[in-house]
Structure 1
Amino acid sequence: MRVIRPAFVVIFWLASVLTATAQAADQPAKSPIFETDILPIFKAKCASCHNPRAKKAELDLTTLDAVAKGGESGELIVGGKPDDSLLYEMIHEGLMPPEDFKKPLTKAEIETISRWIQAGAKSKNGDALSKADLVTQHDIIPLMNLRCTVCHGLRKQEAGLDLRSKSSMLKGGKSGPAIVLGKPEESLILKRLHAAEMPPRKLLVRFGIRPMNSAEIAMLSKWIAADGPEVEMQLDVATTAPDPLVTDEDRKFWAFQKPNRPAVPRVNHQALVRNPLDAFLLKTLEGQQLSYSPEADKLTLIRRVAFDLTGLAPDWKDVETFLADDSPKAYEKMVDRYLASKRYGERWGQYWLDLAGYADSEGKRSADPIRPHAWRYRDYVIRAFNADKPYDRFLLEQIAGDELADYEHAAEVTPQMYDNLVATAFLRMAPDGTGSDIVDTAVERMEVIADELNIFTAGILGLTMKCAQCHSHKYDPIPQRDYYRLMAVFKGAYDEHDWLKPSFVPGQTETAKAGRVLVHVLADELTKWQADKLQHEQRVTAAQQKLKQPRKLLIEKLRSERIAKLPAEVQEKVKQLLGTPKPKRNAEQKQLAAKYEASLKFDDKKLSKADSDFKKLAAATAKQVKELTAKAPKQPQIRALWDRGVPSPTYIYRRGDVTNPDRLVGPGVPAVLTDGKTPFDVQPPWPGANKSGRRLALARWLIEPNHPLTSRVMINRIWKFHFGRGIVKSLGNFGHTGSRPTQPELLDWLSREFIDREWSIKQMHRLMMTSSAYRQSSQMTDKLAELDPENALLSRMPLRRMEAEVVRDSVLLVAGRLDETRFGQPDPVSVRPDGLVTSTESKQGWRRSIYVQHRRKEMPTILENFDLPQMIPNCVERPSATVASQALHLSNDSMILKLSGQFAERVQTEAGTEPYRQIEHAYQIALSRPPTDEEKQVSLETLAALTKRWKAELGGEADKDNEAEKRALVNLCHTLINSAAFLYVD
């Protein structure tokens, strides 16, 4: 027997292996199958977030059908094209699973998924994408709404055709059925589309629509060819079943829990506790070995209170009254006086108008069209604050005022009905360019809706939800579904497919001149308008009467001349003809009329050609009538939002794209703010109402005592405007990316107290302002700089610069030129020759800034320099910048210089010519306090030096009417206006 050598064995083995490998390489690799190769990967690495019970991003990866359906970002798979497939892009780029996930996909797993897609995403039973390609009514109805139902829908059915459902398409209109199932080539709608007859090209701009593109026409054709498949799609609303997208664990975040009233703590410095606020604050301070700063003096306190509550400095007589009052409740009485001031609503109303995004113009377009009736909402807000309207009622009226009473059938509009309707303008404040034909498509309308939802969610809920228009919130448990549920709540009034245009825009076709206004004003105002209208019509008639007699005489003269030129035999007959009414003319007269009557008719144009005197009189009369007509009293109207009854269906738009609808949703609220097992209850506002009741349900949900955010968010805003920063610093973001409350127990205590005090804002002011915390000085020490550098613990009161309106109004006040006429039309603004924007001056001066026209593109320069926001779309919290333009404006602006002169005139009138008394009085007016000894001395020396300088400059004119002394006083007053003591509130 021959022995086989080991080396030969190795060679033989290697040859066998290589041969087998070569044979294997010649055979195609087995394609991955979903059930055996892909699903195990998904279950191990993805399904914890993407399953039927926890569908993050609306995505379920546990079944083939669910994978084929995709998620909120659209389809996941493009068969045969891994690089074009969103699923592969996300895992290949390492975006999914998230970084903090403990089980990332391996390279081999990623490669397997890539090969699966490349091979067509196969399953045991065939192609994974087959079901996703089915076109149903839920693809077609949104398309009809987008392109067709403006003429063939709820409000209008041209040719009797309604395209809002399959059944109505089959019913058709005057020309027959719109579709023939199984026969796209015979379907009238497709014939019209292919012929470019529909939508009519001349109407596209007018109605803000665009024609169907080829892909959309192909989809419609495919649906008709397949007999118009309809699939049942359950309306996605909250039910009693567990929510697959929001869990009870999500609801454990502090801001999503209802506020509970904590026990008031005991503290070491009990003598400093004037009310429970102090106990909570001192508890935290004592934990850092800190306490309150010393109490501020009475001069500081009254100036602080006056500016906080009215936005203006206290009158010196009020200061003297407070200083002389030694009673134990002197401070509380002073606070109450300012709470009762009519100026209070103007101050605190401005904060709310910021939140609402109030503006007197539409924005978006360079023309920035005026909103002629927006001022009523401004006045409503001011009056509501002055009356201390309970915050729950205040919200109810603004969110759903039109659904609180049947104003349409009321015998008379009551003051409460009027308030209800005016209040709804809160939801009409977002920038809106859809009054222009070229920016009035569904895309632009969705921008307006998105801005309004942003105003509502950030301002009232304290949540950032804007990103959820395109995808689920990245940080807060707010799925995209909840954004569109909330949008559905507003759809009765804000429907992108059933749109009311904003204010009339000159030059635009078919713009609704009264699209967003109601005429339900109070009887007194309506009666006055009717009387004014009658008087105006009488004035126009009187002006027109000036031509009546001259016209008559000239016509008679010209007719006589022309008749005299006619054949003699017909002259008398023509005269008789002209005196005979048409119905009574005989055959001969009718023949004469046809021949001669036209030449004997004279309008004013012909008369003017014939007679120069009449021409002059006619021109003068026409000019007068035109001027009178321009001054015709306009019918009083209300800018409002109202439910229109039957909204179109609400689909989730994938990636926020109005042309890419996903599934149907119904009205609802963010699930994380509910208990997760209570449906959103919508009921008609009253029996037989033609309104949906959706916003009323939203408003009532908002003001439930256990709502997690409503009271917290408002209390936090009030706190911020008294103490310089909110307990939650991010006023419009109480979510995971917002700031955490520095005093969470205090915030909850205040929230419950707010509700228990029947939502009274003034009572909360009083509570905060009578605390020891509010009465602290703003004194900074080394210890406070080390332990509480940002004053988060409120170890002192902050030194705050005046806001823009307060700066302007304060300068007007000290100059004695503040016109305190309240309410009504805003004062217009104009651009001066030097390019600066100012408001109009009246005989009394200038009104408060809140009454100045707020145009988004033309803001008064002084306000803009001091950080007045543009309202794009609103301002939850204003910035406070210090820039050179502020000092330059106060130093050099001609209006400021003029007001400085009027300030000086006031001082001289009230204090006389004695410099010492002038200085003292100027300080009292501007700074609400007398000057210190050092300030008196410096001011006296300054006045003397300035007087000397002016005498030298003026020469012989210096002694005339003490001109040098007057100009020196103007300089001093101008200096006070520029001082930090004037611009900052201690």
Structure 2
Amino acid sequence: HKFDPIPTKDYYAMAGIFRSTDAHYGTINGQGNRQPSRLLTIVGSDKNRAQKIRNHEFKLEQENAKLLLMQEENRELRALKKKANANQKARMRRLNRDIKAARANIKNLEEQSPAANFAMGVKDGRVADTRVLVRGEIRNQGPIVKRGFLQVLDHVKAYPIGSRASGRMQLASWLTQPDNPLTARVMVNRVWHHLFGAGIVRTVDNFGATGERPSHPELLDHLAMKFVENNWSVKSIIREIVLSRSYQLSSEMVEANLKNDPNNRLLWRMNHKRLSAESLRDAMLATSGRLNPQPAAGSEITKIGDVIAARAMRQLSQGQRNTNRRSVYLPIMRNSLPEMMRIFDAAEPSLIVGKRNETTVPTQALYLMNSPFVSGQAVAMAQRIMNRTEQPAEGIRLAYELAFARAATDDEVSKAQNFLSEVSEEKDTPGQWAIFCQALLASAEFRYIN
């Protein structure tokens, strides 16, 4: 590494672990993709069912192999054209019939396939150590480096990697050793970042020489120790943090503190935080009363099966639009991020994103004003208010409680009543209340945690 104490050999030692691993991510061979792979079949604990699935897959592979051989022979015979003799022409006719029958047989086998669940995953592949590529040149190969771990952390117990093992299990054991100085600290720092809007180490992806120093190193050590002591429980470390005084502070400004610590590195107040794309969507569904907190039965990807992703795109997009479940349960494909997620800076699925960028752009305001999703939640929220209140002032106060979790001031109630009367001459119409509710959902106060 250019700045950190990680030599080239360490890189190739760890690269060997992943080169000895087969990744199954469900793609086909084609232009721009030279590494096709199938999804892994999840067979569960039913051994008889698992054996049936394996037998069926073996039979299907045999039929496909026969078909490929016949197609290759047929291509060679067809290349002869007019030079083919009578026997060769007869053979071509038989091959055409056999190829047609084989395709029908394969189609029939695929339709009769035992029900199986699919998932992306990895398993041990062909085990091999890696050669150093001098200056990164593929043709300039240096010595072979055995699979292993970072030497700078040589005080952490390293498990020997057998000659037939990829090293993934040993890597996982090495990472989760209680005395590993990185894993627990990196994890609790990310939890802190999500809760406070900024990590104890602000460069959440970089604990190296070019990263920022921790603002409270002793606190980071303490939280890492508690995390390991509680069996690496994320729930326990979240509880530890949210029950602290620092987390429960308001975001109110104090002039003296602002002057001495404008970036709030000493945590004298809570940071102003904007709702993430997922939280914003969930908040709208909760405010409208439509949020379904239960996960769906099974996975949308599993239901679709091991097929070309493009065929599943329309079905997944439709499911993303129609579901009222929490955003964490939305099926996400790398090239099919839901519109709201994309506009409000959700993490790009094809990248590793430790810290999201926050943008404020016109498309966000346009989405809040014109999106069928937002207007639909506003209509549902309006109906919810009309069902629970009789007087406009009561409805306005309830709307503020639902949207902002606070009581409306007398001035806000007065202005809202004037707004409702200006929207329509008729009183207490659903459309009138829907416009008011959409204005609340599109407001800055709804999108920010103060």
**In structure 2, C-alpha distance between the alignment counterparts of 1:907 and 1:516, rounded to whole Å:** 48
* Cα deviation code 1:767-787 (max 9, x no counterpart): 211111111110012212211
**In structure 2, C-alpha distance between the alignment counterparts of 1:652 and 1:701, rounded to whole Å:** 23
**Moved segments of 4+, more than 6 Å:** 510-514, 629-633
**In structure 2, C-alpha distance between the alignment counterparts of 1:829 and 1:973, rounded to whole Å:** 33
2:122 is paired with a residue whose SS is coil
Residue correspondence of structure 1 range 301-340 to structure 2 within 5 A: none
In structure 2, give the amino acid aligned to 1:701.
W
The one of 400, 403, 413 aligned to 1:923: 400
* Cα deviation code 1:842-899 (max 9, x no counterpart): 5xx5222222232222222211110012234311111111112111110112222222
1:789 is paired with a residue whose SS is coil
1:846 is paired with a residue whose SS is coil
2:142 is paired with a residue whose SS is strand
Question: Residue 175 of structure 1 corresponds to which residue in structure 2?
Answer: none
In structure 1, give the amino acid aligned to 2:199.
G
Q: Would you say 1:763 and 2:244 are equivalent positions?
A: no
8 Å contact kept, 2:378–2:437: yes
In structure 2, give the amino acid aligned to 1:979.
S
**In structure 1, C-alpha distance between the alignment counterparts of 2:242 and 2:284, rounded to whole Å:** 26
Q: Would you say 1:873 and 2:357 are equivalent positions?
A: no
8 Å contact kept, 2:157–2:174: no
Question: Residue 970 of structure 1 corresponds to which residue in structure 2?
Answer: 434
Aligned-residue offset at 1:506 = 7.4
Question: Residue 265 of structure 2 corresponds to which residue in structure 1?
Answer: 792
Residue correspondence of structure 1 range 284-303 to structure 2 within 5 A: none
1:641 is paired with a residue whose SS is strand
Q: Would you say 1:818 and 2:328 are equivalent positions?
A: no
**In structure 1, C-alpha distance between the alignment counterparts of 2:48 and 2:324, rounded to whole Å:** 26
Question: Residue 153 of structure 2 corresponds to which residue in structure 1?
Answer: 673
2:249 is paired with a residue whose SS is coil
**In structure 2, C-alpha distance between the alignment counterparts of 1:831 and 1:890, rounded to whole Å:** 25
8 Å contact kept, 1:525–1:636: no
1:664 is paired with a residue whose SS is strand
2:143 is paired with a residue whose SS is strand
1:737 is paired with a residue whose SS is coil
Q: Would you say 1:782 and 2:263 are equivalent positions?
A: no
Residue correspondence of structure 1 range 827-976 to structure 2 within 5 A: 830=314, 839-842=319-322, 845-909=323-387, 911-948=388-425, 951=426, 965-976=429-440
Aligned-residue offset at 1:762 = 1.9
The one of 717, 729, 732 aligned to 2:202: 729
Residue correspondence of structure 1 range 124-135 to structure 2 within 5 A: none
Instruction: From the superposition, tell whether residues 742 and 631 of structure 1 become closer, same or farther in structure 2 (CA, over 3 Å).
Output: farther
How many residues of Structure 1 are paired with residues of Structure 2 in the alignment? 386
Aligned-residue offset at 1:658 = 3.1
**In structure 1, C-alpha distance between the alignment counterparts of 2:36 and 2:335, rounded to whole Å:** 22
In structure 1, give the amino acid aligned to 2:354.
V
Q: Would you say 1:982 and 2:434 are equivalent positions?
A: no
Aligned-residue offset at 1:649 = 3.2
Q: Name the stretch that deviates more: 742-751 or 756-765.
A: 756-765
1:642 is paired with a residue whose SS is strand
**In structure 1, C-alpha distance between the alignment counterparts of 2:432 and 2:49, rounded to whole Å:** 54
Question: Residue 635 of structure 1 corresponds to which residue in structure 2?
Answer: 116
Aligned-residue offset at 1:507 = 6.4
8 Å contact kept, 1:867–1:878: yes
Instruction: From the superposition, tell whether residues 680 and 871 of structure 1 become closer, same or farther in structure 2 (CA, over 3 Å).
Output: same
2:215 is paired with a residue whose SS is coil
The one of 658, 682, 707 aligned to 2:138: 658
Q: Would you say 1:503 and 2:26 are equivalent positions?
A: yes
Instruction: From the superposition, tell whether residues 759 and 918 of structure 1 become closer, same or farther in structure 2 (CA, over 3 Å).
Output: same
Instruction: From the superposition, tell whether residues 804 and 736 of structure 1 become closer, same or farther in structure 2 (CA, over 3 Å).
Output: same
1:662 is paired with a residue whose SS is strand
In structure 2, give the amino acid aligned to 1:848.
R
8 Å contact kept, 2:24–2:122: no
8 Å contact kept, 2:133–2:142: yes
8 Å contact kept, 1:887–1:978: yes
1:692 is paired with a residue whose SS is coil
**In structure 1, C-alpha distance between the alignment counterparts of 2:338 and 2:229, rounded to whole Å:** 42
Identity %: 31
Unaligned stretches of 5+ in structure 2? 57-103, 302-311
**In structure 2, C-alpha distance between the alignment counterparts of 1:729 and 1:849, rounded to whole Å:** 26
Normalising by the residue count of structure 1, what TM-score does the alignment of the two structures yield?
A: 0.36
8 Å contact kept, 1:839–1:846: no
Instruction: From the superposition, tell whether residues 857 and 890 of structure 1 become closer, same or farther in structure 2 (CA, over 3 Å).
Output: same
* Cα deviation code 1:665-718 (max 9, x no counterpart): 00111111224xx8943155xxxxx95162222222212222111111111111
Instruction: From the superposition, tell whether residues 722 and 519 of structure 1 become closer, same or farther in structure 2 (CA, over 3 Å).
Output: closer
Aligned-residue offset at 1:970 = 0.6
1:774 is paired with a residue whose SS is helix
**In structure 1, C-alpha distance between the alignment counterparts of 2:259 and 2:318, rounded to whole Å:** 45
The one of 3, 9, 16 aligned to 1:488: 16
Q: Would you say 1:519 and 2:47 are equivalent positions?
A: no
**In structure 1, C-alpha distance between the alignment counterparts of 2:243 and 2:175, rounded to whole Å:** 29
1:637 is paired with a residue whose SS is strand
Unaligned stretches of 5+ in structure 1? 1-472, 495-499, 534-621, 685-689, 952-961
Aligned-residue offset at 1:515 = 3.4
Instruction: From the superposition, tell whether residues 512 and 773 of structure 1 become closer, same or farther in structure 2 (CA, over 3 Å).
Output: closer
8 Å contact kept, 2:397–2:408: yes
Aligned-residue offset at 1:514 = 6.3
**In structure 2, C-alpha distance between the alignment counterparts of 1:923 and 1:822, rounded to whole Å:** 29
**In structure 1, C-alpha distance between the alignment counterparts of 2:274 and 2:141, rounded to whole Å:** 49
Instruction: From the superposition, tell whether residues 711 and 906 of structure 1 become closer, same or farther in structure 2 (CA, over 3 Å).
Output: same
In structure 2, give the amino acid aligned to 1:917.
E
Residue correspondence of structure 1 range 195-206 to structure 2 within 5 A: none
Instruction: From the superposition, tell whether residues 971 and 889 of structure 1 become closer, same or farther in structure 2 (CA, over 3 Å).
Output: same
1:903 is paired with a residue whose SS is helix
8 Å contact kept, 2:188–2:227: yes
Aligned-residue offset at 1:643 = 1.4
Residue correspondence of structure 1 range 697-736 to structure 2 within 5 A: 697-736=170-209
**In structure 1, C-alpha distance between the alignment counterparts of 2:405 and 2:445, rounded to whole Å:** 10
**In structure 1, C-alpha distance between the alignment counterparts of 2:445 and 2:247, rounded to whole Å:** 20
8 Å contact kept, 1:829–1:840: no
In structure 1, give the amino acid aligned to 2:140.
N
Normalising by the residue count of structure 2, what TM-score does the alignment of the two structures yield?
A: 0.77
Instruction: From the superposition, tell whether residues 501 and 724 of structure 1 become closer, same or farther in structure 2 (CA, over 3 Å).
Output: closer
Q: RMSD in angstroms over aligned alpha carbons?
A: 3.4
Structure number with bigger Rg: 1
Aligned-residue offset at 1:766 = 1.6
Instruction: From the superposition, tell whether residues 884 and 524 of structure 1 become closer, same or farther in structure 2 (CA, over 3 Å).
Output: farther
Instruction: From the superposition, tell whether residues 691 and 935 of structure 1 become closer, same or farther in structure 2 (CA, over 3 Å).
Output: farther
